[in-house]
Structure 1
Amino acid sequence: MIKKYAFAAIAAATLLSPAAIAPVFAQDKAEKKAEMPSVEPQVRTRDFTGTFGGVRVPYTATIGETVLTSDDGKPEAVIVTTSYVKNPRDTSRPVFFIYNGGPGSGSVWLQMGAWGPKRVAIPSDARDDGAPPYPILDNPESLLDVADLIFIDPPGTGFSYLTEGTDKKKYFGLQEDARAVAQVIRRWINDNGRWNSPKYLGGESYGTTRTAMVVRELEGGTYNDVALNGLILVSTILDFAAREPTPGNEMAYIMTLPNMAAAAYYHGKVEAPSVEAIAEEARQFAIGPYASALLKGQDLPAEERATVRRELARLTGLSERYLDQAELRVTSQRFYKELLRDRGLTIGRLDARYTGKDYDNAGETPDADPSFYGIDAGYTAAINAWSRESLGFETKREYQSIGSVGQYWNWSLGSGWNRNAYLNVAPFIGQAMRQNSQLRLFNAQGWYDFATPFFGAEYSLNRVGIPQDRVTLAYYDAGHMMYIRDEDRRKLSDDVRAFIRAR
């Protein structure tokens, strides 16, 4: 409307007809477009052959940039995808879109650790990855025998970036990030003629959160025209409030208790026939006597407190005295430090199998996470070597394995009264499954993962509204990145391969 009135005002002031003024506006628009910075997308393609799932597969690897623009055509975000497509192209094959989490993490972890055609070799038994060179090996566990794979680095991760002057608020957030990723997916489907191919979507950690948001965009939001066959979640976090140890939120302690029992079992602090057995004992105690005791607050009778404290000590390997001082509520950070304090060791957050040694043994929480600094260098070196040297991608940008975009993240799903203080994106998955009768879900969890506890994933996925007959749960004898362990990488790939084939 503003342009219309301005147009009429100029015509009146100059006594010229609108038709005479039109070329002036057209010229102005053309000049502004000419002034906009341009981005020429880089695309590099190489052909390879490998054996995956026992099948010999020729494939094309393509690493390329997708440019997202503003409404007026200004380049705002350059998104890098790495795709692996079987030769010759077969549009009946499933397509699997994959990313990692963070927010701020590139797709390096799943690409070079689990499902890409190459993987980095790091110790499988929870030891530090040491120093380079890190071997880059053929990965027979890649899923290329059953699906074409597209690894996406969302805005601000991996080699993807925002152009100069782009407002971070447009891309760094729950909804903002999902819209960008959904747009990239639709562009890839369109450019590659894969509209009628079976489609799978999934990620790890915050990537599971992103999956809930992206499926909302594709099946029920901005586009509402891309139906999916399956969601593949690895180390799931959907209900954030249920695991946040804010004073007064008792659910956080209930959700992490089974993880504490599993970690205590692994390190020989409790006895049980198996990790599955101790986990089930802890689940039942957590949602029964333990939940009841916590919810009673200061009205908890002394006799009941003593009974709960005694069982809590048996399950966690912590002393009754320590549990009493902690008011029966031990945060994960405290647990990492306390469990093996007698050995002078801390345990990992991403993977409790890992141990580390702090500056001293007197602190309340660890200096760092030994399960992260034990693997990060190998993965970063591998993705840079593979992308630059083997695929020919040219850039002066550093690959952001774990970037800093989280500090700018908009965690809100609304505003005002709809500010969603209780952040839970699981209902979006339920809605998509109810509206798509063939949409199935596969969920993978490690027993020793404190970043995204397995009991928290179970809790969020069995809420009302999520069809349980289309949910598959799988468990692994490692942590957040279960594919680090050789046996679990094979098991994970076999499980996902079977899930895709079962459509």
Structure 2
Amino acid sequence: MRINYGMAAAFAALFLLGAPVSRGADAPPPAQQDKDDKQQKPVPEPKLWTTRNQIRIGGKAIDYQASTGTLLMKNEQDEPIALFGFTAYVRQGQDQRTRPIVFAYNGGPGSASAWLHMGILGPRRAVIEDLASNTRGPFKLVDNEYSFLDRADLVLIDPVGTGFSRPVGKAEGKQFWGVDNDIKSVSDFIVRYLGDYKRWGSPKFILGESYGGIRTGGVSYDLLTRHNVALNGIILVSPYLDFVTGTAGLNSDAGDANFFSTYAATAWYHKVLNPQPPELLPFLREVEQWIDTVYHPVLYKGARATPEERQAALDGLARYTGVSAAYWDAANLRMSENQFLQELMRAQGKTVGRIDSRFAAGMPNRIAETTAFDPYASAVAPAIVAAFNDYARSELGVVTEQKYVLSGGLYKDWDASHVQPDSNGWKVPYANVLPDISYAMTMNPKMKVLVQTGYFDLACPYGTVKSALDHLNITPELRRNVQLEFYEAGHMMYVHPASMGKFSEDIKTFLDQSSN
């Protein structure tokens, strides 16, 4: 007999909802019982797996210890709230009081650190073929000649809800999933690690990618003001720093203008311009000047712009992107990156990558205005996931049935508001950590800042990064502490072979110059 389980379940639910519930006189009400069960729920023990390894960097043997596991974090009432996952690489035979240490993470929000871990930072990295679909095994690992373990130790962090990190005890995810809650929990982890592993005396650095820019801006200020931890430097990789000026399609003049130079770079790369400029950088300098003198002023004027000014803007929009003036006119001179990625090569049946706009793939829905998938992510993520899971279990010795969460989709439940240092405790609805960085640099004038950005990044375009740095409220003297480096690649510029060496050397030079 074939049972209709769906109908049976529906009837059972109706019965349970409609029938009176009988319980003993001494039994607690259901709400109290649930609360008691939650309180009595056992807290998993933190775990640590340790191995010893060696890598050659620059022809020299580097002996290191790899430690993968979790730290049990507690709140102010000494109650367990999270198992915080990490992987640490510590060079052996070094004085840990003088040895630099770098804490690193990806962004999302809701992304684990495996991208950086397997892409460029760890002593072993996944083999990624640039501009290809890395979806067919076998997936390979190789020694990472671009690692900076010859200069500094490394701790890769997975915020709660990513990797192997999760809330425990009575804690819930929402206690961690928001700009300020995330900043606090990551700061607390760093302080805990410094104490448990005797690294208080070390030169300290933080490296954050993408949303990790917002996290790092907040953490640098939070560490200094709440824990008296002063950083030697921060490294911002393709950083997202300000919601308004870092987002297109919101009818924000700065946001829409800041994306345009990467629209132009993308059009140049895919050779859809007529005439096609021979070189990228001279072309971008021309586009940037046009944005400042023509495009941004017209956006600011809105309906006050003259017909001649609007037409000049339309001519430039078409000339620098290859997208028709008619389309730009219908879009009222503004376009989100998703609309642009669909429209740029629609005639060829292709959609373009947001994370790295050098990538392109087929377009199943040729009339869609927004992208259903990212050609970059679909080409690279399978290799990253496979490489990390294989590496963690076969080389780092991790034994667990728990899934490593590469992307938890936490952005959907994320509290985007933020209490800025100068807001008198009021939560600004959308995060902007430029005040946090400005205050951290002012209060700690020896803190240096390295910013790395790619020309083909449409998640955090280089125009948004330059604009953010231009609006740091710091003195001319402190501006000398900020270093900006560009790469002819996308958001994760380290998949681009020509950028990998530069990425590594830029960080090593920065660490050397900022550690003393």
TM-score with structure 2 setting the length = 0.87
Alignment correspondent of 1:187: 192
Alignment correspondent of 1:251: 254
- Paired with 1:246 and 1:121, the residues of 2 have a C-alpha distance of 35
Q: 1:295 to 1:417 in 2, by over 3 A?
A: farther
Counterparts of 1:364-443 in structure 2, within 5 Å, are: 364-414=369-419, 418-443=426-451
* 3-state SS of 2:418 partner: coil
* 3-state SS of 1:502 partner: helix
> How far off is 1:105 after superposition?
0.6
> How far off is 1:422 after superposition?
4.7
Aligned AA for 2:72? V
Alignment correspondent of 1:352: 357
> How far off is 1:464 after superposition?
4.2
- Paired with 1:104 and 1:208, the residues of 2 have a C-alpha distance of 14
> How far off is 1:289 after superposition?
1.0
Q: Of the candidates 95, 100, 114, which is equivalent to residue 108 of structure 1?
A: 114
Structure 1 residues 44-53 or 416-425, which shifts more? 416-425
Q: Of the candidates 146, 153, 156, which is equivalent to residue 158 of structure 2?
A: 153
Alignment correspondent of 2:66: 61
1:37–1:74 Cα contact (<8 Å) kept: no
Matched, 1:498 2:509: yes
Q: Of the candidates 467, 470, 484, which is equivalent to residue 462 of structure 1?
A: 470
> How far off is 1:210 after superposition?
0.6
Alignment correspondent of 1:26: none
Q: 1:265 to 1:246 in 2, by over 3 A?
A: closer
- Paired with 1:232 and 1:54, the residues of 2 have a C-alpha distance of 26
Counterparts of 1:150-229 in structure 2, within 5 Å, are: 150-163=155-168, 165-220=170-225, 222-223=226-227, 225-229=228-232
Matched, 1:446 2:451: no
- Paired with 2:424 and 2:471, the residues of 1 have a C-alpha distance of 26
- Paired with 2:76 and 2:40, the residues of 1 have a C-alpha distance of 15
> How far off is 1:366 after superposition?
2.5
The count of residues paired between Structure 1 and Structure 2 equals 470
Counterparts of 1:9-88 in structure 2, within 5 Å, are: 37-88=42-93
1:157–1:400 Cα contact (<8 Å) kept: yes
Structure 1 vs Structure 2 CA RMSD: 2.1
2:104–2:155 Cα contact (<8 Å) kept: yes
1:53–1:143 Cα contact (<8 Å) kept: no
Deviations 1:345-397 (A, max 9, x none): 11100000110112132222233111111111110111111111211112111
2:353–2:376 Cα contact (<8 Å) kept: yes
Counterparts of 1:117-136 in structure 2, within 5 Å, are: 117-124=123-130, 126-136=131-141
Structure 1 residues 301-310 or 34-43, which shifts more? 34-43
* 3-state SS of 1:337 partner: helix
Deviations 1:252-306 (A, max 9, x none): 2101000001001101123224222222222222222111111111122111211
Alignment correspondent of 1:234: 237
> How far off is 1:342 after superposition?
2.1
> How far off is 1:119 after superposition?
0.4
1:452–1:480 Cα contact (<8 Å) kept: yes
Alignment correspondent of 2:13: none
* 3-state SS of 1:327 partner: coil
Q: 1:425 to 1:397 in 2, by over 3 A?
A: same
> How far off is 1:246 after superposition?
5.2
Alignment correspondent of 2:20: none
- Paired with 2:339 and 2:462, the residues of 1 have a C-alpha distance of 19
2:339–2:370 Cα contact (<8 Å) kept: yes
> How far off is 1:61 after superposition?
0.5
Q: Of the candidates 136, 142, 146, which is equivalent to residue 147 of structure 2?
A: 142
2:51–2:67 Cα contact (<8 Å) kept: yes
2:249–2:334 Cα contact (<8 Å) kept: no
Alignment correspondent of 2:301: 296
1:168–1:408 Cα contact (<8 Å) kept: no
> How far off is 1:309 after superposition?
1.1
Q: Which runs of 5+ in 1 are unaligned?
A: 1-31
